[in-house]
Chain A
Amino acid sequence: MASDRIDVRHVAKLARLALTESEVLRYGSQLAGLLTFVDELRGLDTEHVGATAQVVESRNVTRPDVVGPCLSREDALAGAPQAQNGFFRVPKIIAAAE
């Protein structure tokens, strides 16, 4: 069952996923289930719970501004489907303006 609270086709498009009609229905119903769960969470009393952006307790994990080793170019490009003259070669980018 698709949800009227979420536009699965739009989300799929943003995520560059080509969904079939049956997948649109299946994911739509799964996402609707998630939203229902969020509704349940909304019912909880959170008046004394602060907002958070992280569930771990640590703060200010940084590193000093020091240069470390890089990959060799060969290693960097080793996983690329295509490479050319030391660059990653990718399919043409769809023009933003026509």
Chain B
Amino acid sequence: MISERSSVPPADAAAKYEAVIGIECHVELKTASKMFCGCPNAFGGEPNTQVCPVCLALPGALPVPNAAAIEHMIRAGLAFDCAIPAFSKFDRKNYFYPDMPKDYQISQYDMPLTQGGVVRYWLADGTLRECRLTRIHLEEDTGKSTHAGSGDGRIAGSTYSLVDFNRAGVPLMECVSDPDIRSADEAVAFLDALKRTFVQLGISDVKMEEGSLRCDANVSLRLRGAAEYGTKTEIKNMNSFRSVHRAIQSEIERQTGLLERGERIIQETRGWDEAGGVTHSMRSKEKAHDYRYFPDPDLVPMEIDAATVERVRAALPELPIARYERYVDAYKLSVAQATQLVDNASLAEYFDRAVDSAKSPAGVLNFVLGDLSRLANESGIEVAHSKVTPEALAELVALTDAKTINSKVAKDVLVRLWNDGGSAKAIVQADGLAQVSDPAAVGAFVDAALAANPKSVADFAAGKENALKFLIGQVMKASRGTANPALVETVLRDRMR
């Protein structure tokens, strides 16, 4: 291992260079069965209990592609405006590793299922960005090896390895981006966009902790304004979005330091060391890989006709970027509010349904991100699965917006809807919770409060404004929160003048 301590270069050096970043990520597809056999695609089984002759590469076993995985690929491709070529095929990628039983991986070389495309995404400040895709192709995952005998599960010092083939043959899509990303922030925002889109499409759970999304980054620097790319390094071993951010930032700083000292960047693969917060060279003794790709003779080509593409396109849900733009542009939500909703699809659908009947995005948003989300967190029940129907919420919003009930009463009614369901209108009517704005009715509450609190009346006369607040509170209490607070204050001041 060659380690170079990276120190943060001065800001002017950082401003001199522009980072050029491309991302390659592998995403496990959500299917019932594996890519080429009927073994379950399930996480966490006992080792080697989800295996069969196909995924163990026993002689004579033949792979047959999973139709759902191919359709997932078309969905992913259409979501990002990729071209879906009419003809596509599987190739063998040949290399040796014990967690790959066939000694080749079935992948796609020159005729992937999707080509080109663009990922549109947004940054925390609302800036919209685009990153072009080179391709998304379909392949199979490998098994998992644990290096044993060394005590710490690392390769170095291990005396043997233990292999579990449960994940071998799980459908995997590899997304390769063009080098359109310019910062660690953008890289993470881009990955967020991939993640929320794949989740929305229902084609992957994208759980990094279960290894269902893994990514590598190519990083190079160039002088700001330069057209040529600099020498790039490939960073591996990043196992969370946070480590992607830290690793890219660290690599940008390391390369900036090298360039500022007049040194050369070496094209190489570097591993991210989470604990050390630096990347290490992973220079291999072997020659560059020669994967000797060739068409897999066990698998026949795929022809995707226009009708299939159109059928899949017609069934696409509203995509996260479209929903985000709708919320920000049409509903005037903040970036944070829109992101929070977009990242919780069931809450976003609930919000949309409530807005459809209430026609008041701001009012609905208040409840959805406020009290409703709080109730959901406290109870562990999703808002969409609660007893508060979007229609009941819409009624509540309409009652609040029309000032039929005040916000305090609205909160109480919401809790009752949460516990018992029903209609907001019906609760307000049955319990007489409508705001009382009739001067005579409010006057009666006021007179009672004045009679019961002579000391406060005297205090107010002596110039203590606080006494008025107390009296308003007494009136509100007596009216069970229904009295119109503004009217209460007017009447109180009037009576005590």
Using CB atoms and an 8 Å cutoff, list the residues of chain A in contact with chain B: 10, 14, 16, 53-54, 56, 58-71, 73, 76-77, 79, 84-93, 95-98
Contacts and interface: CB of A to CB of B under 8 A. Distances in A.
A89 B33 contact: no
A77 B51 CA distance: 10
A63 B67 contact: yes
The 6 closest A-B pairs by CB, nearest first: A68-B38, A65-B68, A87-B162, A53-B295, A62-B67, A88-B163
26 contacts: A10-B290, A53-B301, A54-B295, A54-B301, A59-B303, A63-B64, A63-B65, A63-B67, A67-B32, A67-B40, A70-B40, A70-B50, A73-B46, A85-B162, A86-B48, A87-B47, A87-B162, A88-B48, A88-B165, A89-B161, A90-B163, A92-B160, A93-B145, A95-B156, A97-B280, A97-B281
Given A14-B292, A97-B1, A56 B48 contact: no
Interface of B is mostly: loop
Given A76-B49, A76-B51, A87-B162, 15 more contacts: A53-B111, A53-B301, A61-B300, A63-B66, A64-B67, A65-B32, A65-B67, A73-B48, A76-B56, A77-B48, A88-B163, A92-B149, A97-B271, A97-B281, A98-B156
Contacts of A69: 38, 52
Contacts of B282: 96-97
A84 B300 contact: no
B33 A70 contact: no
Contacts of B292: 14
B66 A65 contact: yes
Contacts of B159: 92
A36 B46 CA distance: 52
Given A10-B287, A64-B67, A92 B161 contact: yes
Interface stretch (B90-98, B250-258, B309-317): B90-98
Interface residues of B, number: 62
A86 B163 CA distance: 9
Given A65-B67, A67-B38, A88-B162, A93 B155 contact: yes
B393 interface: no
B290 A59 contact: no
Interface in B119-139: none
Contacts of B1: 97-98
A56 B301 CA distance: 10
A54 to B, nearest CB: 6
A77 B49 CA distance: 10
A98 B162 CA distance: 21
A69 B303 CA distance: 29
Determine which residue in B32, B111, B163 has the highest number of CB atoms from chain A within 10 A of its CB, and name it: B163
Given A54-B89, A54-B300, A79 B65 contact: no
B160 A14 contact: no
Contacts of A67: 32-33, 38-40
Nearest to A74: B48
Nearest to A55: B297
Determine which residue in B89, B94, B96, B160 has the highest number of CB atoms from chain A within 10 A of its CB, and name it: B160
Nearest to A88: B163
B266 to A, nearest CB: 14
B170 to A, nearest CB: 12
Contact of B52 (A56, A70, A90): A70
Given A54-B295, A54-B297, A59-B300, A76 B160 contact: no
B37 interface: yes
B469 interface: no
B196 to A, nearest CB: 23
Interface string B283-294: 111010010100
